[in-house]
Amino acid sequence: MKSRNALAAFLLALLPLSGFGQSRRAPLSRPEILGRLAIGQSPSAIANFVKVRGIEFSISDDFLSRVKLAGGDGILVERLSATGPTQFPASNDGVDGSYEHLARCAELLHTGDNEKGREECWAAMDELPDSPWPVLAMGRAGYGAAIPQEEMAELIRRAQALARNPTEAEALLSGGAPLKDSVAELANPEFSDNPAPYYALGAPSNRTYGGVLMGGNRATVDDSPSDENQFNPWLQQMLASDRDLASTHTALADYYQTTGNLEKAVSEFQDALRLEPDNAELHGTFAVFYGAQGDYDEEIAELREAVRIVPYGLEERAELAQVLVQQGHADEAIREWRELIDLSPGDERACEALGELYIQRKDWKSAVAEYKRLLEVRPDSSDIENELAWTYATSPDPEYRKPAEALAIARRAVQTSEESDANFIDTLAEALLINGRAEEALETEKQAAELAPTDANIQSRLERFRQAAEEAKSVRQ
C-alpha cells in the first residue's frame, strides 16, 4: 500500500492538475467554499477569495448555517452575507446542486471527528463526482488513519480520474517524481494567504500549538525595522491586500510579542479571533502567548475554547489537561483525561497521566484499574506494563504491593520493548529487589545506570541497591 504521505502529496498535487489554477478567476461555488473549509483552509483566506472572485449563487440561511458549523463563522459569513451572485462563467467544480454530504464532512472534520468525517467525505464523492474537493477532504480525514487497502485503492482511482495527467499522478503516488509547486494556487500572492500543507491537510487530532502562523511566515526583529510602526515587506503586502486576514493579525501579534509590545500583541490576537472566532488553532496559539506571560487563567480559558470548538480533538483536550495539572487543578484535569479516554480508549498518554494523578492522591486502586483497563485495549503496551509493574513494586498499600506480579510484568515489559529502556530496566531491578534477589537487582540497576548516566534518580538508587546486595551477601556468610 502506498504511504499516506505519498497520498497526501498526490492530493495536494491535484490542486493545479485538476484545474484549480485555471478556475482562479471564476466565482466560488458552494462546493468550493465548503471544500476549502473541509481541507482546513482558514475562513478569512476563503473570505478573501469571495472578495476577489465573488460567488456564483444566491446566499441562503441554510448555507450560512452550514458554513458556520464547518468553522466559517466571522469574516467569511459576513462577506458571504454581503456578496451577491457574480456575473462570471461558472466554475468547473462540478454541479453546484447537492452539497449535503460535503457540508457534513466539513463540519465533522472541523470538530475533529475524523472517523465519521471520512464516511461523509466518501458520500460526498458520490454526491459530487466531478468535484475534487471531497477527494482533497479525504486527504485530511484520512491523515494518520489506517485506511484499508481497498478503500485506499478506490480513493487513488478517484483522484487519478480528476487529474489531467494520470501518468504524472502515478509517479507522484509512487514517489518517483518531485511534488513541484503543488500548492501554487493556494499560496498565490494574489490572494495573500498561504494555508501551507500543514494547515491544509493536518488532522485536527494532530494539531500542535506554539505560535504556528496561519500564513506560514514569521515576522521577527531580525527581518523587520527597529521602528515597531514599520513592518517587513511581507507584512506590508498582507496589510495592503486585505486587512481581514487572520493570519496577518497573528503574524503581527507574533511580531509585537517579539518586540515586547504585549498590549498590541493581545490586540492583534483579538482581531484575528474576531475574524475567525471558531479557529481552534488561533485559540491554542493565544493560549501559548498567555502561558508565556504567566497569565494561566487566560491560558486555560483559551484552551477551553479550543476544546469547545474541537470537542473530538485529542490534542486540544490533552493540552488543556496538562495545563490544568501544572496549575494544580487535578480534579478538572482528571475529567479532561477521562473525556479523552472516552474518545480514544487506547491513548497511552491519558492513561499514564491519570495513573500519575491517582498515585499522587495515593489512590492505588484507581491507578491499577486504569493501567489494567488500557492493557485490555492494548496488550502490547510495554509503557503501561512498566507503569503497572512499578506500582506493584513500590505501592505502600499492602493490597497493591505484589512482588510476584511486579516481577513478571516488569520482565515482560523489558522483553517486549523495541529498544533498551533505562526506566524499564530500573523497574525490573526494583521488582527483583522486593522479591529478595538483591545481587541480581544490583547488576540490573547497573545496566539502567549505564543507559541513563545523567538520570539523577537512577544514579541515586544505585547506591541503595549496592547496600542491599552487601547486606544480602553478609547474611549468607
- H helix or E strand, kind and range, residue 330: helix 330-343
- Domain housing 251: 207-312
Q: Does one domain contain both 96 and 153? A: yes
Q: Does one domain contain both 21 and 157? A: yes
Q: Does one domain contain both 97 and 23? A: yes
Q: For residue 218, is pLDDT > 60?
A: no
Is residue 348 included in any domain, yes or no?
Answer: no
CATH number, residue 459: 1.25.40.10
Q: For residue 148, is pLDDT > 60?
A: yes
Q: For residue 15, is pLDDT > 70?
A: no
What pLDDT does residue 193 have? 36
What pLDDT does residue 333 have? 97
Using CA atoms, how far residue 184 sits from 189, 207, 393, in Å, is 9, 23, 58
Q: Does one domain contain both 17 and 95? A: yes
Mean pLDDT of 206-228: 39
Mean pLDDT of 263-269: 93
End position of a domain, from candidates 255, 282, 312: 312
CA atoms within 13 A on the CB side of 143: 26
Query: What pLDDT, in 10s, does the model give residues 421-474?
Result: 999 999 999 999 999 999 999 999 999 999 999 999 998 888 899 999 998 888
Decide which of 460 and 192 is more confident. 460
Q: Does one domain contain both 401 and 292? A: no
Residue 10's pLDDT band, with cuts at 50, 70 and 90, is low
At residue 361, φ and ψ (nearest 5 deg) are: -90, 5
Query: What pLDDT, in 10s, does the model give residues 82-132?
Result: 988 876 555 444 445 578 999 999 999 999 999 999 999 999 999 998 888
- The one-letter code for the residue type at 375 is L
What pLDDT does residue 106 have? 96
Q: Does one domain contain both 164 and 211? A: no
Query: How far apart, in whole angstroms, are the C-alpha atoms of residue 427 and residue 445?
Result: 9
Query: How far apart, in whole angstroms, are the C-alpha atoms of residue 325 and residue 344?
Result: 20
Q: For residue 6, is pLDDT > 90?
A: no
What pairs with residue 55 in β-bridges? 28, 85
Q: For residue 240, is pLDDT > 80?
A: no
The domain tally of the chain equals 3
Average pLDDT, the chain: 80
Mean pLDDT of 19-33: 69
Q: For residue 284, is pLDDT > 70?
A: yes
Q: Does one domain contain both 22 and 162? A: yes
Query: How far apart, in whole angstroms, are the C-alpha atoms of residue 288 and residue 303?
Result: 9
Stated pTM of the model: 0.79
Find out whether 58 and 85 touch, Cβ atoms under 8 Å. yes
Query: What pLDDT, in 10s, does the model give residues 373-415?
Result: 999 999 999 999 999 999 999 999 999 999 999 999 999 999 9
Q: For residue 246, is pLDDT > 60?
A: yes
Q: For residue 209, is pLDDT > 70?
A: no
Is residue 340 included in any domain, yes or no?
Answer: no
Residue 180's pLDDT band, with cuts at 50, 70 and 90, is very low
Give every CB contact of residue 364 below 8 A, 6+ residues apart in sequence: 358, 391, 395, 397, 399, 400
What pLDDT does residue 234 have? 63
Share of the chain above pLDDT 70, in %: 76
